[in-house]
A and B are shown apart, each in its own frame.
Chain A
């Protein structure tokens, strides 16, 4: 990255993006994070019998005294004078950063703003569909309009839950790979035949669940598809089936269920497990959010709808979204959906935005330095960060 040509200036900053599913971290100025690991903390509890099972939970570390295991081997921090930038939706404790880690400068930025920067826009509607929730966040001129954010809990985890129920209905057992010693090939649809590993350590419930979840997420990523038009039984029956094999050997063709499950994202009235019809589909989320904004900026928002988040990588998501939005917007409105095709860019777009921002020459005046923090306290973070 040469300075002056692109307006870049390499200061040697670190960028952290802490999501609910994964944490992304790396150096500013690069085009993808060096470290991408799940946001799960493993805590070992010492038991009397000497075994040390892992207990996982998704909370951020706040106590000290127990050993925390996170997979952070990839990121090495050789220099002491490293600035840290982290895109977060809520504020992380800045005191932790400054006092515990002794960094020289710090900056917090909202993920939506960084996603739009990564796509070259300073104004737009960021539709982020990740693991825990789907949100539509309007960004205007680099600032988030907080009162127009719309959130919906229908996202990746909801899909996983539905897949789990599907397997229960099919009375198929989810067996994570760590248990399996060997397996035999079986015919389609017939129960799996596999052998369990001997001498398995005693694992906790939460860890076992976590492993099963990975199996389900793999199924979710490879099999599910969003249909182009609202779900129709006959149309779904004619769709080609996809063959999928679970780690224990059970394999099956999935046809209509492939389309039925993600339909819940767009049309939650039929989805199982939802109480009442109070949930908004993805299309509704977007239009509601834009509808709450000032009317003058609405064309600008519709003209750049940025789709990010791992959950949007489901096959057919963007096409369906495009269709729904063009139906709902007034005909004079120019609708443009921005969705990067590569996996990396969609999942890490907030991180990439942070990398871009931290390496700009004109950004270097916006850091909150240690001195400012000592003078101003936490309020200066609220003031200076958009």
Chain B
């Protein structure tokens, strides 16, 4: 046995000695007294006279003059919240409240048994606070006639249905537990879905029957077939072996790789396309302009100005500055142009004998900018062309190498619907190259075939392989 020693507070001492020095309110302590969260006692503010602020005065100015408490506005901002200290409970500050061993009845019980427990003497006679937690699920109860009329079912006897409903009531519709406690010897072996189906069917029918005429009750439809299939699928999912899981992972990864490659290809193709249309439109625009200078200017210009893709060439910033500027500012290259392009421009200009920094008159500025833009376009086109050539070469080499590798064993392949026997061992290539070439980057562009851009994919089971290889070789 050990005592726990607590400090006797002033209130206790006074209580023991029965002194009368209790000026502070002696009523029962409330939570506020123990946890004194707010240091300042909140005074009940008396009627606050609110003055209407005069029109035209700013809100902040008015706040300076008239605040709620009529105090002077603070010079320094102060913090009225608790700050970093944690609130300590001040125990033992008031008079002790005695506890009593008293009998009680629990209104949630049906038999009115009397138990005893410890409770504060002040709370004698009050209700049992935990009775309100006595909630039950509403399970419908049917009468004999209702059963005979509506709820009759071939698969279920009345006894069995009653047993089911009894269990539902006992276990608050926990179907897993109900299924576990179901009397499988006496009645047939039922699955959880069967039980649920029967229960919800009955609930639905009863709701419909009992509903007042005219109102459409909400009926919960239970789909037993769907549940069964779902559970079977889950079962299969759980019982997968690690190899199957690994295989699935691998396949998913491969799929992702294929997708990314496809996207890259498409992007490249689009870029090229943009470049080419830019090139085409600029040349057409030039031709149109030259013609237009001889004819009426405004109309032609408006009709024949398609949206030039600004990605090709250089976009010179057209700044609207307030005030005075120098025209040569407009001639400055924007910083977005890369070093290589600048070098290329300079090179071509010097080759052609053009001054790198001409005199910035209005016409010259415009023409010079256009010239540089075109130069950049040409440079980009050249690069794209070189890239495509290179890719084509590379793929051709690869294809030949593969042909050689599989050319050693040429099987008598069945006719796969491919034209000509010029494709020996295409099947072989397919199977061998499964890992390496899952797809082929899009057929390269030649300057002649500008308009026909085919992006081609070539998976190992694709029957149209020949069509993809065809443009490659040609």
Contacts and interface: CB of A to CB of B under 8 A. Distances in A.
Interface of A: 3-4, 7, 9-12, 81, 83, 104-105, 140-141, 143, 145-148, 293-298, 330-333, 360-362, 364-365, 367, 369-372, 375, 383
B235 interface: yes
Contacts of B59: none
Interface string B168-188: 001100101101110000000
B237 interface: yes
A245 B101 CA distance: 54
Nearest to A1: B118
A98 to B, nearest CB: 13
B299 interface: no
B129 A365 contact: no
Contacts of B238: 295, 298, 330, 333
Contacts of B180: 143, 145-148
Nearest to A373: B111
A331 B246 CA distance: 11
A331 B241 CA distance: 9
In this complex, which of A293, A298, A365 has the most chain B Cβ atoms within 10 angstroms of its Cβ? A365
Interface stretch (B130-138, B218-226, B322-330, B435-443): B130-138
B204 to A, nearest CB: 22
Given A331-B242, A370-B113, 6 more contacts: A11-B115, A140-B177, A141-B177, A148-B180, A295-B231, A361-B133
A254 B321 CA distance: 93
A331 B245 contact: yes
A35 to B, nearest CB: 17
B117 interface: yes
Contacts of B170: 383
- Chain B interface residue count: which class? 20 to 34
B11 interface: no
Interface of B: 106, 108-109, 111, 113, 115-119, 128-131, 133-134, 170-171, 174, 176-177, 179-181, 192, 231, 234-235, 237-240, 242, 245
Contacts of B113: 104-105, 367, 369-372
Contacts of A10: 117-118
Contacts of B239: 330
B238 to A, nearest CB: 5
In this complex, which of B118, B180, B245 has the most chain A Cβ atoms within 10 angstroms of its Cβ? B180
Nearest to A83: B115
Contact of B133 (A4, A148, A362): A362
A251 B119 CA distance: 59
Contacts of B106: 364-365
B111 A371 contact: yes
A57 B234 CA distance: 50
A332 B181 CA distance: 30
A12 B118 CA distance: 9
A3 B231 CA distance: 44
A100 B109 CA distance: 25
A298 B235 CA distance: 10
Nearest to B227: A296
A330 B116 contact: no
A9 B231 contact: no
A187 to B, nearest CB: 46
A104 B115 contact: yes
A11 B129 CA distance: 14
B116 A364 contact: no
A295 to B, nearest CB: 5
A361 B129 contact: yes
A11 B117 contact: yes
A81 B192 contact: no
12 contacts: A9-B117, A9-B130, A81-B115, A140-B176, A140-B177, A146-B181, A293-B176, A294-B231, A296-B234, A330-B240, A362-B134, A371-B113
Contacts of A105: 113, 115
Nearest to B242: A331
B130 A364 contact: yes
B174 A365 contact: no
Contacts of B245: 331
Closest CB pairs A-B (n = 10):
A361-B130, A369-B113, A365-B108, A145-B180, A143-B177, A362-B133, A11-B117, A330-B238, A371-B111, A295-B234
A365 B109 contact: yes
A4 B129 contact: yes
Given A81-B116, A140-B177, A295-B238, A362 B130 contact: yes
A319 to B, nearest CB: 22
Contact of A296 (B108, B115, B128, B231): B231
Nearest to B175: A294
A361 B181 CA distance: 28
A297 B115 contact: no
Nearest to B116: A81
